[in-house]
C-alpha cells in the first residue's frame, strides 16, 4: 500500500536518487512552486544509491530535475489522471514558477528518466519492458466501432488517411489503446461510415480528447493521449512495419496531418485552471497520516506490522500565504495569456 515515487536530481557527474512512499498522488502539485522548493522537498526524502531504482511497474509518480540544463521531467496523478487539457495547463502554469526551465511530461515515466541519464540499456536489462507489455496486452478489449453523431461526446477521434489520399473522421466511444491493438483488418468495418470529411470537436467538448490518426499510405500511426505510454511502440504490434508517434497534448501537427479539416475543442481554460488551483491548495493533505489513521481505526489487533518503506516520507509544504501569493502572480500571467 502506498503511492510510490522516485525523485532524481542531476549532478555535475552523476545523479542523486530519492524515494518517497506517499507523494505520488500530489507530486506534480507539490513541485509546482519552483526549483528551490522542489529541490528542498526532494532532499528531505530517503536517498538511495544511484542503482537502487524502485521497480518501475510499481512507481506512480516521479520527477527528474537537471539544474545545469534547467530541464524537468515529470509524471504523476495516476490516482486521478489529468486529461490532456489539464496536463497542458499544469505544465504551462508551472513554467511561470520555473522561468527559463524546460518542463516536459514524461510519458515513458521511469524509462524517460533512464534515457535522459544515459542508462537506458542497463535500465531495460534490469526492468525488461516485456512485463509491461504482458500487462498491457491483457487489457485489450475488441472495439465495437460504433460511430457517434457529430454532436455526441467523443472518447477518441479516429482519423484515417486512406490509400487514395482521402481523410475521413470517425468519432468513437472507444479507448485509444484498444484501437491501437486491434487487427488492422477490423477497421474495414468503418467503410459504411465514410461520412465526415471534416469534423468539429468543439461542438460538445471544452477539453482536449484523445485523437488517433492512421496514415495507410505511410504506415504511420499518430497518437494524442494523456495515458498512452509511448513504450507501446516496442510492444508486439498486430500491424507489422508500422511506426508510432506520440504527441501527448501537443496538437500542433494534427491540423496539417488531416489537411486542416478538424476543429479542436475550445478549451475552457478558466474551469481547467480552477480545478488545478484546487489541487494546488489541497496538495498538503498527508496521505500517510490518513492511511495509518484508517488502518488503526479499522484494526482490532494489538499490534500492526508494516513494511519499512511505508515510513519513507517527510512532509514539506509552503505556507498557505506563500502559495496564495505565488498563485496570484501565476493566475494573472495565465489569464493574460489566454484572454480571460
- In which band, very low, low, confident or very high, does the pLDDT at 78 lie, cut at 50, 70 and 90? confident
pLDDT of 159 higher than 70: yes
What confidence score (pLDDT) does residue 314 get?
83
Percent of the chain predicted with pLDDT > 90: 68
The yes-or-no verdict on residue 298 having pLDDT over 90 is no
* pLDDT at 293 > cutoff 60: no
In DSSP notation, 216-276 reads TTTTEEEEE-SS--GGGGGS--SSTT-EEEE-TT--TTHHHHTTT-EE-----HHHHHHHH
307 or 174: whose pLDDT is higher? 174
Q: Is the pLDDT of residue 157 over 70?
A: yes
Lowest mean pLDDT among 40-44, 90-94, 150-154, 164-168: 150-154
Round to whole Å and give the CA distance between 44 and 185.
Answer: 53
For the stretch 188-212, pLDDT in tens is 999 999 999 999 999 999 999 999 9
| pLDDT value, residue 236 | 62
| Mean pLDDT, range 12-16, rounded to an integer | 97
| Stronger pLDDT, 57 or 88, i.e. the higher one | 88
Confidence of residue 304 (pLDDT cuts 50, 70, 90): low
Answer left, alpha or beta for residue 84, where phi above 0 means left and psi between -120 and 50 means alpha.
Answer: alpha
Query: What's the pLDDT at 235?
Result: 61
At residue 238, the pLDDT reads 74
Check pLDDT > 90 for residue 276.
yes
pLDDT at 48: 95
Q: State mean pLDDT over 263-287.
A: 86
User: Using 50, 70 and 90 to split pLDDT, how confident is the model at 136?
Assistant: low
The three-state secondary structure class of 144 is coil
Mean pLDDT of the 35-40 span: 97
| pLDDT at residue 140, as a whole number | 77
How confident is the prediction for the chain on average, in pLDDT?
89
Give tens-digit pLDDT for 90-108: 999 999 999 999 999 999 8
Beta carbons within 8 Å of 134's beta carbon, 6+ residues apart = none
What's the rounded mean pLDDT across residues 12-40? 95
Cα 28 → chain centroid: 11
Question: What's the pLDDT band for 14 if we cut at 50, 70, 90?
Answer: very high
Say how many CA atoms lie within 13 Å of 334 toward its Cβ. Answer: 25
3-state helix, strand, coil in the chain (%, to 5): 35, 20, 45
Looking at residue 182, the DSSP 8-state letter turns out to be S
Which band of pLDDT confidence, cut at 50, 70 and 90, is reported for residue 77? confident
- Whether the per-residue pLDDT at 164 is higher than 60: the answer is yes
Does residue 285 have a pLDDT over 60? Answer: yes
pLDDT in the model for residue 198: 97
Best CA proximity match to 65, nearest among 4, 6, 18, 8: 8
pTM, rounded to two decimals: 0.88
pLDDT tens, 110-123?
999 999 999 999 99
What is the mean pLDDT of the segment spanning 66-87? 92
Amino acid at each position: 500500500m502506498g503511492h510510490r515515487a522516485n525523485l532524481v536530481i542531476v549532478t555535475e557527474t552523476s545523479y542523486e536518487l530519492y524515494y518517497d512512499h506517499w507523494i505520488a498522488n500530489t507530486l506534480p502539485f507539490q513541485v509546482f512552486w519552483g526549483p528551490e522548493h522542489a529541490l528542498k522537498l526532494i532532499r528531505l526524502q530517503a536517498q538511495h544509491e544511484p542503482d537502487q531504482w524502485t521497480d518501475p511497474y510499481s512507481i506512480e509518480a516521479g520527477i527528474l530535475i537537471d539544474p545545469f540544463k534547467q530541464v524537468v521531467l515529470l509524471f504523476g496523478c495516476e490516482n486521478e489522471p489529468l486529461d490532456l487539457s489539464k496536463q497542458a495547463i499544469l505544465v504551462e502554469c508551472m513554467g511561470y514558477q520555473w522561468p527559463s526551465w524546460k518542463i516536459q511530461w514524461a510519458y515513458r515515466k521511469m524509462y524517460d528518466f533512464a534515457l535522459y541519464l544515459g542508462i537506458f540499456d542497463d535500465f531495460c536489462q534490469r526492468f525488461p519492458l516485456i512485463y509491461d507489455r504482458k500487462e498491457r496486452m491483457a487489457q485489450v478489449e475488441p472495439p465495437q466501432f460504433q460511430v457517434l453523431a457529430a454532436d455526441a461526446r467523443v472518447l477518441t477521434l479516429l482519423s484515417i488517411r486512406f490509400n487514395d489520399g482521402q481523410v475521413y473522421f470517425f468519432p468513437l466511444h472507444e479507448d485509444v489503446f484498444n484501437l491501437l491493438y486491434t487487427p488492422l483488418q477490423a477497421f474495414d468495418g468503418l467503410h459504411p461510415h465514410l461520412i465526415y470529411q471534416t469534423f468539429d470537436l468543439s461542438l460538445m467538448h471544452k477539453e482536449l480528447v484523445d485523437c488517433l490518426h492512421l496514415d495507410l499510405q505511410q504506415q504511420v500511426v499518430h497518437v494524442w493521449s494523456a495515458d498512452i505510454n509511448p513504450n507501446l511502440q516496442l510492444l508486439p504490434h498486430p500491424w507489422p512495419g508500422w511506426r508510432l508517434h506520440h504527441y501527448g497534448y501537443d496538437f500542433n501537427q494534427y491540423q496539417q496531418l488531416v489537411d486542416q479539416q478538424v476543429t479542436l475543442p475550445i478549451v475552457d481554460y478558466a474551469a481547467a485552471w480552477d480545478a488545478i488551483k484546487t489541487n494546488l491548495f489541497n496538495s498538503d493533505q498527508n496521505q500517510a497520516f490518513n492511511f495509518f489513521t484508517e488502518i488503526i481505526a479499522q484494526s482490532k489487533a494489538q499490534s500492526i506490522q508494516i513494511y519499512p518503506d511505508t515510513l519513507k516520507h517527510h512532509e514539506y509544504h509552503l505556507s498557505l500565504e506563500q502559495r496564495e501569493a505565488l498563485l496570484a502572480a501565476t493566475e494573472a500571467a495565465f489569464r493574460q495569456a489566454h484572454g480571460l
